[in-house]
Every structure is written in C-alpha cells, then in structure tokens.
C-alpha cells in the first residue's frame, strides 16, 4: 500500500527514530556549495503561495512547510508598500488574509508588520506576519525553483531583480512577469551584468501562439492557464523541451484547494503529458502523486552557516536560542512573547540553518519549565523547542576546522559535546544534539551525539537534564556538521526542548598555548554528608556528577557563589542560602570516582587561587562501594 507521508524528511525520520540512538536515514539536509552547483528539479509540484492548503498563504510558515514537504518549486506574490518596500501578498488589499483592512499600497512596511497574517488559518498561526521579499528569499534552500510572481510595474520588477541578485538567487528565482515587468527586470540585469530568469505571463497562455511568443521572447518559463482543464498539445510540449523552456500549469478549480480524487487524477494527466510543474495548494497530496512518477520530494540544500573552530571554547553559535530574527529580519535578543498555544510563529534562530519549525520559547511560557527551575543567569531567557509540529525537525550549522588539520591528523584533538535536553511531563519526545565529523569530501567519518527520549530521562516532569559525550576528533576531519533534532513519537507533536548546547575542542594533553578554563562545582553527596569542590573539566569529577549520590550541585565561582543548583535527577533549583553558609575560604574536599570507589582530596581556596593537597579519606573502593 502506498504511504502518503509528510515528505522526504518525515519518512527518513521515522526510520531514524526506530534506531533511537543512531540517525540511520540521513544526518542533515545536504549542504550546498556555490549556488550555481545546486541541481534544480526538472519536474515536480509548485507549492502555490507555499503550503497554502494547510498554512496561511504567502507567509514564512507556509513556505517552510512547502520546503519540508519536498516541493520542487515554490510560488509567491510580490507587491509594493506605500514606502516602496517589496512584500509578499497576493491580493491588492489586506482584508482577506490579515486582521486589517485597506489596500496594500496604502500601508507602510512598519504598518503592515503590525497586522496578523496567520490567525485566519488557525489559532496556531496567530502572530504570523506579512514577510518581505528579502525575508522570503533568505529562508529558501538553493535547490528549489522560486516562482516570483510580480504584482507591480517596471520599477517594482527592477527592484525585485536587484534583491534576487543581492542574495545570489538568480540561478533559481525566476520572475513571472508581463511585458512591462520583464523590461524592468532585464534593465536591472543589464545594470549589474547578470542574467535574470523570466516566466512569460502575457498573452492567451494556453495555445501554440503563447508557446511561440515565449520561445521567441527569450523566456525560460511559461505558465499555462488551463482554467477550463484544457491541455497544451504534445507538439507544443515538445517545442518547449527543444527550446529548453520549463512549463508551469495553473488550473483554478482543477488543482486548487485540497486535492480530491478527481484533482489528483488531473494532476497525473498533466505529469504524463510532460508539464513540468503544476501549481498545487495541497503539497501533501501533491508530492504523494508526484512520487507515483518517481519524482521524489526535494531534499533541501541550505546555505551553510559556517563558523571557524577554536580550541578551548564553545564553537556553537547561538547555543541558547537567545538571538532570533525579528519581523524586519534583523537579529534581536528582545524578550520572546509568551504565547499559547506553543509556537504561534516560527522564529529564525541566528547562526543556524533553520530547516523548518524549530524555534525558541521563553521559560515560564505555556508548556515550558519555570524560571525558578531554570534561572536566567544560568540558562538565559529562552530554550530551543521542537514546536507545535509533528515528525522530525532540526536545525544545523557547520564548524570549519581549517587551521587545526595537523593536530587532528596527529590524533591530539578531542571534543566534548553537551546539552540540556528534555521535554514535557508524560510525553515521549526524542531530542538529540549530534556532531557529524566530515572529511574534505563531505563524507562522514564519525558521529557523536547526546540525546533524551523518555520523561524518565529528564526526571519525570516538564524540564531538561544535562547530557555529555567526549571522544577524539577523527583523523581526517575537516568540518563538523552540528544538528539539533526534535521528533514527536508516534506522529505526535514534538514538544522536546534543549538549551546550553556546547561543542568544545581541546588538546588531549595540556598545552601552554591553550589555557584550560576551570569551572568549579560545589557538591553535596546526601548519603555521605560531605561537600565537594569539583573541577568540571575532570573526567572523574564528571563521573561523580552522574552518580545518584550527587544530590546537590552548585555552580560555584568566587565572584558569584551560586548560579544554579541541581538535584540528583539534574533538575535545577535555586539554593543560595545553603551556599552562603559555605564561605569560599573554608577548606573543602574535591571528589571523584575511581571505578566504583569514592576518593577525596582536600582543597583550600585562598582568594581566587586554589591549592590542592591530596589525601585519602578512607572511603571504600572496589565493587562493594557500588551499593
């Protein structure tokens, strides 16, 4: 039986979840090199105004959903505001698709950004905004056709073409234009010495004369308007192929809305006839029909966010989901609004390739842990969340290892991957942070990961626990693809959450050139009634933190005696009063595990300089201590 899934990533994600610990089907969306190298589809569906059957049309949410479904082409409409900005909206007025009223051209961009463009489609989209052309181009992968349907005249098309050039999208974005609009776009191309792709939207748009005008006019696309269900002739289809012109087909009433049985059959007829890209509102069923013809959902190739690696520091950019893009596509750390239900609007996170629907939420919001449990000074204001979605979603960034090649190939670089991961009480959500080590050809050499799966992993309540993994960086590694994954099991909503992501590269032996940062933890082992000062960088100290005896743990620094506290499940709580009774100058002990045995060494803190004197406290060692 044929399965109509949610697109390429959903199907792969189900396989991945079956393995639980290993992402088996894919590791990330493929990363694109130079734009000109991105292979573009030759046939498939065009997501009309994005995934408009299920999402508010012409919004970033609809476009991201279309990408997620695997659409081969995405269509959107470009209009001009009163202050000359290019925005994405179909109608000449805002009445139908926002909570406002009036003509688009009477609003400034700032005024349009105040309108709600999502709630008419459903409460989960409350707060969705009208995007600009720049914002829309910025989220697109490199290997999907972009059908830029112009609504203005010469000047608007000139401006839109310049934006396409500015973002390097001329290999994939084609402008659907009339004669006057085509002149504006071509003038922009001539001004910068480039070529712009054009779709002929003039004329009768179905017969042989339209095909001839398109070919002779130097267009790269045409869009048949078969509102009566009329098909172009086989001869015309062949003429277009011979001239290397791509064909779209818009059939209002025949392809619009949900794809019923009869509409799916008409879509099959178009694909058999050789039409390149039927315009479809229902991208779920549209991609399923396309698969019947071996047209597989597109695996998006996003433009890399590439960071340069350094030793001894966290190389992940925006590891706490604190920096996101506002409605004007500018980075901000403004407070994220507390909203209900979870994820009213997908927020782009700075530094990450936002594949789809991974966003951030503030502590204290609906379905989030409290600020008291996760204090701001230790966890910031926000955490990553999977969002109000189903199936597998993820974000990605790339770490460039240039400059570290010799040390890596000598086997002297190690990595520590860590994160706070968790989810909701009573709901199993697979959340994972992975690091894929790639050679110079982009082939995976090894995969490091930390993950959580079950509420018992994060203490049985809504919250997160700390996870860590260390190993050697594989010889031959030249880059690291870091991915944060969320998957709601059983096709449920992925309410997983994550924070304080970290990937630290360090030398396997101490080096004077790489100062080793020291973080101390003050720990009380409830069963033994002892206090311990722990060096977080010590592997034996890290082992102690994983034992159930580590009941109370405080981040401790001389300048800030208490940042946060954690119980044996790893749940934070504030406990400053206990810490205040333990002055920094008092003698304390530092603990570690040797096998199953507990040993201690005394530590005296004199100002900010720790002096360590080893001494055995007579604790048992060996198997008997395991009780």
The H or E element containing residue 385 is strand 382-385
**Least confidently predicted of 36-50, 151-165, 467-481, 521-535:** 521-535
Same domain, 312 and 460: yes
Contact 118, 127 (CB under 8 A): yes
Is residue 25 included in any domain, yes or no? no
Same domain, 393 and 466: yes
HEC secondary structure over 244-279: CCEEEEECCCCCCCCCCHHHHHHHHHHHHHCCCEEE
Same domain, 527 and 493: no
Contact 242, 215 (CB under 8 A): no
**DSSP conformation class of 623:** G
Q: What is the dihedral of CA 186, 189, 195, 198, to 10 degrees?
A: -40
Same domain, 389 and 428: yes
According to the model, what pLDDT value does residue 90 have?
Answer: 97
> Rounded mean pLDDT of 168-185?
97
Q: Is the pLDDT of residue 521 over 70?
A: no
Tell me which of 507, 532, 551 is where a domain ends. 507
10 Å Cβ neighbour count for 150? 25
Q: Is the pLDDT of residue 134 over 70?
A: yes
Most confident of 219-223, 578-582, 595-599: 219-223
Tell me which of 268, 291, 314 is where a domain ends. 291
What does residue 179 show for φ and ψ, rounded to 5 degrees? -60, -45
According to the model, what pLDDT value does residue 355 have?
Answer: 59
Q: Is the pLDDT of residue 3 over 60?
A: no
Helix, strand, coil in percent for the chain, rounding step 5:
20, 30, 50
pLDDT tens digits along 73-93 = 999 999 999 999 999 999 999
According to the model, what pLDDT value does residue 2 have?
Answer: 31
295 has which bridge partners? none
CA distance 102 to 402: 54
Query: Which token pair is 10?
Result: 């959903």
Pick from 21, 26, 65: nearest CA to 389:
65
Is residue 153 included in any domain, yes or no? yes
CA distance 184 to 202: 15
CATH, residue 147: 3.20.20.190
CA distance 466 to 459: 11
Query: What is the side-by-side strand order in the sheet with 497-507?
Result: 359-362, 382-385, 497-507, 413-423, 463-472
Percent over 70 (pLDDT), the chain: 71
Same domain, 256 and 381: no
Q: Which residues contact 407 (CB under 8 A, 6 or more apart)?
A: 413, 507
Contact 205, 219 (CB under 8 A): no
Kindly indicate the confidence band of residue 389, based on its pLDDT and cuts at 50, 70 and 90.
Answer: low
pLDDT tens digits along 243-254 = 999 999 999 889
Same domain, 451 and 569: no
Query: Which token pair is 90?
Result: 């179909």
Same domain, 208 and 143: yes
Same domain, 267 and 317: no
Query: Which token pair is 291?
Result: 């698969």
**Least confidently predicted of 55-64, 292-301, 422-431, 549-558:** 549-558
Pick from 37, 160, 18: nearest CA to 87:
160
Contact 324, 135 (CB under 8 A): no
pLDDT tens digits along 393-443 = 788 999 999 999 999 999 999 999 999 999 888 888 889 999 999 999 989
What does residue 87 show for φ and ψ, rounded to 5 degrees? -125, 165
Same domain, 565 and 610: yes
CA distance 519 to 513: 19
Query: What is the side-by-side strand order in the sheet with 597-606?
Result: 572-573, 565-566, 550-556, 520-525, 530-535, 588-594, 597-606, 609-614
Most confident of 160-164, 359-363, 391-395: 160-164
CA distance 474 to 443: 12
According to the model, what pLDDT value does residue 316 have?
Answer: 94
Same domain, 317 and 280: no
Is residue 18 included in any domain, yes or no? no
234 versus 596: the higher-pLDDT residue is 234
HEC secondary structure over 107-164: CCHHHHCCCCCCCCCCHHHCCCCCCEHHHHHHCCCCCCEEEEEECCCHHHHHHHHHHH
Contact 404, 505 (CB under 8 A): yes
Contact 65, 296 (CB under 8 A): no
Contact 473, 504 (CB under 8 A): no
Range of the domain at 606: 520-626
Sign of the CA dihedral with 164 first, then 195, 80, and 215 last: negative
Pick from 341, 378, 377: nearest CA to 359:
341
CA distance 226 to 171: 27
Pick from 183, 165, 158: nearest CA to 80:
158
CA distance 619 to 382: 42
Q: Which residues contact 18 (CB under 8 A, 6 or more apart)?
A: 24
Q: Is the pLDDT of residue 627 over 80?
A: no
Is residue 186 included in any domain, yes or no? yes
Same domain, 230 and 267: yes
Tokens 């490091």 locate to 448
Tokens 């909570």 locate to 99
Is residue 461 included in any domain, yes or no? yes
According to the model, what pLDDT value does residue 97 have?
Answer: 97
Same domain, 541 and 453: no
Tell me which of 257, 291, 325 is where a domain ends. 291
Is residue 513 included in any domain, yes or no? no
Rounded to 5°, the CA angle 42-47-53 comes to: 150
Is residue 14 included in any domain, yes or no? no
**Least confidently predicted of 77-86, 201-210, 600-609:** 600-609
**Least confidently predicted of 82-86, 189-193, 373-377, 623-627:** 623-627
Residue-wise DSSP of 437-499: EE-TTS-EEEEEEEEE-SGGGGTTSSEEEEEEEEEEPPTT--EEEEEEEEEEGGG-B---EEE
Domain count for the chain: 3
Kindly indicate the confidence band of residue 344, based on its pLDDT and cuts at 50, 70 and 90.
Answer: very low
Radius of gyration of the chain, Cα coordinates, nearest whole angstrom = 28
Query: In whole angstroms, how far apart are CA 262 and each of 36, 275, 516?
Result: 39, 18, 67
Is residue 2 included in any domain, yes or no? no
CATH, residue 502: 2.60.120.260
Pick from 258, 282, 278: nearest CA to 268:
278
Kindly indicate the confidence band of residue 619, based on its pLDDT and cuts at 50, 70 and 90.
Answer: very low
pTM: 0.66
Q: Which residues contact 460 (CB under 8 A, 6 or more apart)?
A: 425, 569
Q: Is the pLDDT of residue 331 over 70?
A: yes
10 Å Cβ neighbour count for 334? 9
């Amino acid at each position: 039986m044929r399965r109509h899934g949610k697109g390429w990533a959903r199907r792969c994600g189900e396989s991945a979840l079956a393995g639980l610990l290993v992402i088996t089907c894919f590791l990330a969306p493929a990363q694109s090199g130079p734009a000109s190298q991105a292979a573009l589809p030759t046939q498939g569906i065009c997501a009309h105004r994005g995934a408009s059957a299920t999402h508010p049309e012409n919004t970033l949410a609809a476009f991201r959903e279309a990408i997620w479904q695997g659409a081969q082409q995405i269509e959107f409409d470009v209009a001009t505001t009163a202050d000359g900005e290019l925005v994405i909206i179909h109608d000449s007025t805002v009445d139908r698709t926002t909570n406002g009223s009036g003509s688009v051209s009477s609003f400034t961009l700032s005024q349009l950004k105040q309108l709600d463009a999502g709630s008419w489609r459903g409460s989960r989209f409350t707060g969705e905004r009208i995007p600009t052309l720049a914002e829309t181009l910025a989220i697109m992968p490199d290997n999907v056709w972009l059908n830029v349907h112009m609504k203005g005249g010469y000047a608007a098309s000139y401006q839109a073409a310049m934006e396409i050039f500015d973002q390097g999208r001329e290999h994939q974005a084609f402008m659907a234009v009339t004669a006057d609009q085509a002149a504006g776009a071509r003038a922009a191309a001539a001004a910068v010495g480039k070529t712009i792709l054009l779709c002929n939207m003039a004329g009768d748009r179905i017969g042989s004369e339209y095909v001839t005008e398109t070919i002779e006019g130097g267009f790269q696309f045409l869009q048949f308007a078969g509102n009566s269900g009329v098909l172009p002739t086989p001869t015309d289809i062949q003429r277009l192929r011979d001239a290397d012109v791509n064909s779209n087909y818009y059939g209002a009433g025949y392809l619009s809305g949900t794809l019923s049985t009869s509409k799916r059959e008409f879509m099959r007829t178009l694909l058999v006839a050789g039409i390149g890209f039927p315009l479809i509102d229902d991208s779920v069923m549209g991609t399923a029909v396309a698969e019947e013809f071996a047209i597989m959902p597109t695996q998006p190739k996003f433009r890399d966010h590439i960071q340069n690696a350094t030793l001894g520091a966290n190389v992940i950019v925006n590891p706490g989901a604190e920096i996101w893009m506002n409605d004007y596509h500018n980075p901000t750390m403004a407070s994220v609004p507390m909203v209900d239900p979870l994820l009213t609007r997908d927020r782009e996170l700075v530094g990450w390739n936002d594949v789809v629907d991974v966003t951030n939420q503030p502590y204290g919001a609906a379905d989030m842990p409290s600020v008291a449990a996760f204090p701001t000074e230790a966890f910031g204001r926000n955490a990553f969340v999977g969002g109000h979605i189903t199936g597998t979603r993820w974000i990605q960034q790339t770490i460039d290892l240039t400059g570290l090649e010799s040390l890596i190939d000598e086997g002297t670089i190690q990595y520590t991957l860590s994160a706070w991961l968790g989810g909701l009480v009573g709901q199993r959500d697979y959340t994972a942070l992975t690091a894929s080590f790639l050679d110079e050809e982009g082939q995976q050499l090894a995969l490091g990961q930390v993950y959580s799966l079950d509420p018992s992993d994060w203490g049985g309540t809504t919250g997160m626990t700390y996870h860590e993994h260390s190993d050697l960086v594989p010889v031959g590694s030249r880059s690291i693809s870091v991915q944060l994954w969320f998957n709601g099991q059983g096709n449920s909503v992925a309410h997983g959450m994550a924070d304080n992501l970290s990937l630290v590269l360090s030398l396997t032996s101490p080096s004077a050139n790489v100062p080793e940062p020291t973080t101390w933890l003050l720990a009380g082992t409830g069963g033994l009634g002892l206090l311990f000062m722990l060096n977080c960088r010590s592997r034996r100290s890290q082992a102690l933190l994983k034992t159930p005896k580590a009941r109370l743990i405080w981040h401790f620094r001389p300048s800030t005696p208490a940042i946060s506290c954690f119980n044996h499940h790893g749940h934070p709580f504030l406990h400053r009063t206990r810490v205040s009774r333990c002055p920094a100058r008092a003698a304390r002990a530092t603990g570690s595990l040797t096998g199953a045995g507990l040993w201690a060494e005394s530590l005296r803190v004199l100002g900010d300089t720790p002096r360590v004197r080893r001494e055995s406290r007579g604790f048992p060692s060996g198997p008997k201590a395991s009780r």
